[in-house]
């Protein structure tokens, strides 16, 4: 496998909300802006004010996340200005704060510096699994690469074994808190969002991030350790998709 394989979504946040994956999942801002001063890769990162900002990518990728035995991964470069509140950085979730029940999943940093992920098994929020790293894997004021994998085909340990988490290419112990029965992410209409969750109402932001997000991706498969190494790239990171060197197509004649 190569890092580009099954890459479903790839925003680079270079002063626009364009998806570079080829799937055309371009987004737009709800209050969020771009920063040329605090960035990890390319010209800019996306910037969130901790109050009411998000990147809004509409109801996309539902078939990647929802359903039985789904496998997916996502990774982003994150920079938190502080850890004074729980701050959502990637989600497909609408809840009662949006006046709706479209819970699918959300990922965030906690005030203790742990990365957390809640996977919902029903849109109402009655059954879910919360996964988290130990405290203090995230520090405010610097760029860190957070990579999460989810394998819905694994049911051992009440679903604990479905999730792995890495920070800066290092595996972190994952603990899990169950609520209700183990299941699958339900099909829903919540919007995919960065920097906060917005739901299908599209206007209300909750749990906003105070900081920056740069190059990230969603894959419809479990990333390998080689993929993780490619993403980390010795700490320099990479923009997605990788453009690989090869025989150019402009020599004339037919390409294939």
* Site residues, Ca ion (CB under 5 A): 12-14, 41-42, 214
Which lies closer to Ca ion via its Cβ, residue 6 or residue 12? 12
Q: How far is the CB of 40 from Ca ion (least distance, A)?
A: 7
Which lies closer to Ca ion via its Cβ, residue 19 or residue 214? 214
Q: What is the 3-state secondary structure (H, E, C) of the chain?
A: CCCCCCEEECECCCCCCCECCCCCCCCEEEECEEECCCCCCCCCEEEEECCCCEEECCCCCHHHHCECCCEEEEEEEEEECCCCCCEEEEEEEECHHHCCCEEEEEEEECCCCCEEEEEECCCCCCCEEEEECCCCCCCCCCEEEEEEEEECCCCHHHHHHHEEEEECCEEECCEEEEECCCCCECCCCCCEEECCECCCCCCCCECCCEEEEEEEEEECCCCCHHHHHHHHHHHCCCCCCCCCCCCCCCCCCCCC
Chain residue at closest Cβ approach to Ca ion: 42
Q: How far is the CB of 42 from Ca ion (least distance, A)?
A: 3
Q: How far is the CB of 184 from Ca ion (least distance, A)?
A: 33
Which lies closer to Ca ion via its Cβ, residue 79 or residue 105? 79
Which lies closer to Ca ion via its Cβ, residue 89 or residue 131? 89
Q: How far, in Å, CA of 212 to CA of 163, rounded?
A: 24
Q: How far, in Å, CA of 124 to CA of 102, rounded?
A: 7
Q: How far is the CB of 39 from Ca ion (least distance, A)?
A: 6
Q: How far is the CB of 138 from Ca ion (least distance, A)?
A: 20
Which lies closer to Ca ion via its Cβ, residue 10 or residue 41? 41
| Burial (CB count <10 Å: 0-12, 13-18, 19+), residue 216 | buried
Which lies closer to Ca ion via its Cβ, residue 25 or residue 41? 41
Q: How far is the CB of 41 from Ca ion (least distance, A)?
A: 5
Which lies closer to Ca ion via its Cβ, residue 40 or residue 103? 40
Q: How far is the CB of 56 from Ca ion (least distance, A)?
A: 18
């Amino acid at each position: 496998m190569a890092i580009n394989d099954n890459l479903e979504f790839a925003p680079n946040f270079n002063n626009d909300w364009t998806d570079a994956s080829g799937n055309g999942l371009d987004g737009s801002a709800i209050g969020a802006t771009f920063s040329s001063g605090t960035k990890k890769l390319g010209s800019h990162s996306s910037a969130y004010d901790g109050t009411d900002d998000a990147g809004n990518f509409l109801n996309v990728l539902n078939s990647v996340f929802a359903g039985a035995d789904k496998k997916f991964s996502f990774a982003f470069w994150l920079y938190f200005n502080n850890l004074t509140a729980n701050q959502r950085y990637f989600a497909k979730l609408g809840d009662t704060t949006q006046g709706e029940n479209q819970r699918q999943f959300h990922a965030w940093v906690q005030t203790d510096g742990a990365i957390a992920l809640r996977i919902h098994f029903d849109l109402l929020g009655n059954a879910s699994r919360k996964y988290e790293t130990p405290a203090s894997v995230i520090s405010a004021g610097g760029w860190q690469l957070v990579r999460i994998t989810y394998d819905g085909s694994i049911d051992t340990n009440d679903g604990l074994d479905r999730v792995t988490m890495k920070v800066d290419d290092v595996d972190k112990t994952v603990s899990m808190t169950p609520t209700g029965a183990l299941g699958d992410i339900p099909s829903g209409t919540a919007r995919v969002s960065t920097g906060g969750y917005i739901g299908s109402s599209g206007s209300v932001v909750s749990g906003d991030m105070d900081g920056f997000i740069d190059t990230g991706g969603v894959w419809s498969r479990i990333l390998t350790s080689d993929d993780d190494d490619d993403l980390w790239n010795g700490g320099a990171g990479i923009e997605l998709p990788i453009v690989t060197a090869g025989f150019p197509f402009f020599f004339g004649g037919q390409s294939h």
